[in-house]
Structure 1
Amino acid sequence: MRTSNSFVLIHGAWHDHHSWDFIVPLLEEVGHYATGIDLPGAGELAQSPASYFENPVDLDAFAVQASPNAFVTQEERNEAVIDLVRECYAEEDQKVILVGHSLGGITVSAVAEMIPNMVSMIIYLSALLLPPQVSAFQMLSRKSMSQRMTPQLYVGDGEKTGAMRINPKSTDPSYLDLVKQTFYGDLSDEEFRFALSTLFPDEPIQVATVPSPITQKRFGRIPRHYIHCRNDKAYPLSGQRDMVHLVDKVMGNKTVVHMLESSHSPFFSQPKALAKILDEIAQS
C-alpha cells in the first residue's frame, strides 16, 4: 500500500535511532512511512575508549584517551543517509522528507544538496542549519549561541581525544543534572533515565569542522521548515533564529518556521505534538 509520505529521520549528537522510537509509530498511524538510522560513529556503530567500559569509569583515563570514533567522517555519514534515501525512494516511489535534529542538521543539508531530486522537503528540529561554507564550530561560536550549555558537559581536550566527549555513565548528580537541563529539561526523572541510556560518549570532532556545502541552485530550491524549541539549552532560541535568518538571506527565500514549547528533545518529551507538526508539514 502506498503511504502518504516517506520520512527519513536523522538523530543529533551523542544520540541514535532511538530518538525516534515514539515518533515513527505516530507517523505510521496517520499513513506515513518513517525510518531512522544510526549514523556512522553513532549508536550501535559508535566506538568508545576502553576506560568508558570500566565499572566505574576511570575518569582520569577517560579524560585523555584518544577516541576510536575520531576517524568517522562527515562524508561517511552523508553517504549512509544517501543510501537510505535511495532505498526509500525506490521502495515508496516518491521523494523523501528529510528530518534532522541538532547536529543531524549538518547531514540533512549535505544530503539535500547532493541528491535534491530525491528530497521533497527538509525539516530542521532545533538543528544546525548552516549557511554556505560555514562549519558547525563557526556557527556555535557566534554571539547568538553564547548561552548554550553543551560545552559544560565536555570531558577532556577534544583536540587531543579527537572527540566531543561527554559522560552518560557519570554518577555525579550535578553532572547528570546538567545533562538533563541541557537536553531534556522537560522530562521526568524516569524519562530522563531512558534518554540517558541511549547516549554514547564520543562524537567525532572533525564533523563539526566541515563547511556547509549548500548552494542556492540545489539545496535552495527544496522547501525547508524549522521547528524551534523555545526552551532549548543546547541551541538557544536566539541561535536557532540566527541560523534561519542567515540561510534565508543567502538562499533568497524563506524557511517556514514552527514553534514547540519544549527542551532540545521533544521526540521524548512531546512526541504527539512533534508528530502532529511533522504530519502537518508533510500535508502542506
Structure 2
Amino acid sequence: MTRSPDTSADHTDTDTDSHTDTDTDTVFVLVHGAWHGSWQWAATQRALVGLGAASVAVDLPGHGFGAALPSGYLLPGRPGLLTERSRLAGVTMDDCADAVLRTLRRVRRYGRVVLVAHSAGGGPASLAAERAPELVDRIVYLSAFVPAGRPRFLDYVNAPENATARGAGLHVGDPEALGAIRIDPLSPDPAYVEELRETHYHDTPAGLFDRWRSALSPDLPLAIPSTPVALTASRWGRVPRTFLRCAQDRALAAAVQDLMIAEADRAMPHEPFTVHTLPGSHSPFAARPRELAGALVG
C-alpha cells in the first residue's frame, strides 16, 4: 500500500482508501471542495484509522489525478491561461453527484455510512443524499455549501454575510468564457500566492504551504457552484446532519456558514443540524487533521 505525505508525521504514505480491523461498523465518505482532490484528505484518513474508523475519499470529475489542465499551464509564460476554455467545462452537477453515489453504493456493506463534504463539495454530496437517502446515515458539512435554503453555492458566496471573505482576486479569466472558475496555484507572483495562502490555508505551517498549493487543480467546473440543487424534506431532509463550522474561515465566512445552517433548519425543521465549531481556517485537513478526525468520530 502506498501513502501520501502527512503534515503531522514523518512517514510518506498515499492511499486514500483505508480501513482497519475494529469493532466499529462506520465508514466515512469524504468529498473534497473546489480545486482539491481525494489526496488532500490523506492526513485526516490516517488520523481516522488511528481512531478505528474506515474511510474512502472521492475524486469528483475534473479533480484529482484525472483532472485535465489548461494546455499552457506548465509551460513558460503560461500561454492561454486567461482565455483557453476549460476541458472540464462540460462537467455537470449530475456527473459529480453520480461519482459520490458510486462510492456510497460501494461502501454500504460496511454498515453505517457518514458522508462528509467540504466547501463546494456540499452541492454534489447533498444531491447524492437527496437521490439515495437510504445510503447515508449522517451527512457532515465541513464549512460546506448547504442547498436547503438557497439552491446555488454562488447564492451564498455572493451573499452580504460573506462580504468579509477573501479570495475574489484569485480568479483568472472570465468564468463564463472558460466554463470554469480558474485559479493559478503555480503563480510566480508572490502577492497572488500570499492571497491564496491567506484565503484558504492561513494556519497551515508556512513551510508546507507551497507543497499544498502545488497539489491544487486550476479549474473548478462552473456547474459546481452555479447549478441549482433542489432538496426535499422527505429525502435529504430525513438524513441526520452535522455542520462543522470553521471559526476563522476566510474563504467562507462564519456568518454565511451560520446563515446556511439557519436557513436549512427553517426550511426542513424535522432534522435540524447538530453544530460544532472548529478553530482555524477553511482547510483543517491541512492545518489540524487529527483534530478534524476527532471531531468527525466524536
Task: Give the TM-score normalised by structure 2.
Answer: 0.89
Query: Are residue 51 (structure 1) and residue 68 (structure 2) matched?
Result: no
CA deviation vs aligned residue, 1:202-247 (integer Å, no higher than 9, x gap): 1011222211221111111111000110111110000100000000
Paired residues, number: 276
- Distance in 1, matches of 2:149 and 2:87, equals 30
Query: Are residue 40 (structure 1) and residue 57 (structure 2) matched?
Result: no
- Distance in 1, matches of 2:147 and 2:129, equals 13
Deviation at 1:29, TM superposition (A): 1.6
Deviation at 1:48, TM superposition (A): 1.9
The answer to whether the 8 A contact 2:171-2:182 is kept is yes
1:86 to 105, 119, 126: 105
AA aligned to 1:238 is A
2:83 to 52, 64, 89: 64
Q: Which residue of 2 aligns with 1:154?
A: 171
- Distance in 1, matches of 2:93 and 2:52, equals 32
Task: Give the TM-score normalised by structure 1.
Answer: 0.94
- Distance in 2, matches of 1:240 and 1:103, equals 12
Deviates more, 1:109-118 or 1:133-142: 133-142
Q: Secondary structure at the match of 1:148?
A: coil
AA aligned to 1:160 is A
- Distance in 1, matches of 2:156 and 2:215, equals 27
Deviation at 1:3, TM superposition (A): 3.6
Deviation at 1:186, TM superposition (A): 0.3
Q: Which residue of 2 aligns with 1:247?
A: 264
1:8 to 29, 32, 35: 29
CA deviation vs aligned residue, 1:181-213 (integer Å, no higher than 9, x gap): 010010122221121121010101122221122
The answer to whether the 8 A contact 1:73-1:206 is kept is yes
Deviation at 1:133, TM superposition (A): 5.9
User: Which 5+ residue runs of structure 2 have no aligned equivalent?
Assistant: 1-20
More helix by share: 1
- Distance in 2, matches of 1:107 and 1:150, equals 22
Q: Secondary structure at the match of 2:204?
A: coil
Q: Which residue of 1 aligns with 2:40?
A: 19
- Distance in 2, matches of 1:105 and 1:178, equals 24
AA aligned to 1:47 is A
Which 4+ stretches in 1 moved above 4 angstroms? Answer: none
- Distance in 1, matches of 2:90 and 2:112, equals 32
- With over 3 angstroms needed to count, the CA separation of the structure-2 counterparts of 1:21 and 1:56, relative to structure 1, is farther
CA deviation vs aligned residue, 1:224-283 (integer Å, no higher than 9, x gap): 000110111110000100000000100014211111111000011011111110010xxx
